[in-house]
Amino acid sequence: MSQTFTFDSLPQSLDELKAMPEAGLTDPLAAAALVICVLMNYENDTEATCGMLDYLKGPKPLNPFEKQFLRDRLKGKMYVVRSFFEGTSPSNDYTPGLPYTITVSEGPYAYAEEGYAKLDIRSSGADSVRQIKMRKKGEQWFLWENYALSDIRIPASSDDWT
């Protein structure tokens, strides 16, 4: 099963995130889509982004290792996050159109581990899907692990060979 989410704007603060309909975190696919939406703010305001990720992580906020991982993966590579939105490609430097649209899917083994959901998300710069692992607590789904930030093909404007 796949579900497509459309956003007219992306959250830039915890209050804006909490005001979004998906922020109840009762749907694991919607919660996973929010992870990407929140990461789009990283370059703009790292502190606010970490605060929003803490909300999405629930009772297990970001630790120093995870914050360093984000710095390492996203510094100068925000195109990796943009690549998850529809309409992006290396040739348009991963520039998403409005409204922002993202699809999250359940693979055949998404719920193989009880209390967890390993969800698929496609990057327009990669040949294989990336994954975001969510963990259930009560009726809510929280970010557990983010496997989506692996390197992808660089934007055409940065590729000397295009």
DSSP 39-81: HTTTTT-HHHHHHHHHHHHTTSPPPHHHHHHHHHHHTT-THHH
Write down the pLDDT at residue 100: 98
Instruction: Let me know: does 28 contact 119? Beta carbons within 8 Å.
Output: yes
- Percent of the chain at pLDDT exceeding 90: 96
Tens digit of pLDDT for each residue in 111-128? 999 999 999 999 999 999
Q: In what order do the strands lie in the sheet with 130-137?
A: 2-7, 100-106, 116-121, 130-137, 140-146
Mean local confidence (pLDDT), 40-61: 97
Determine, yes or no, domain membership for 78. yes
Mean pLDDT for 80-97 is 97
Domain limits for position 126: 2-155
pLDDT at position 161: 75
Q: What average pLDDT score do residues 147-161 get?
A: 90
- Residue 161: inside a domain: no
Which pLDDT band, with edges at 50, 70 and 90, does 162 fall under? low
| CB burial of residue 40 (10 Å; 0-12, 13-18, 19+) | buried
Number of domains in the chain: 1
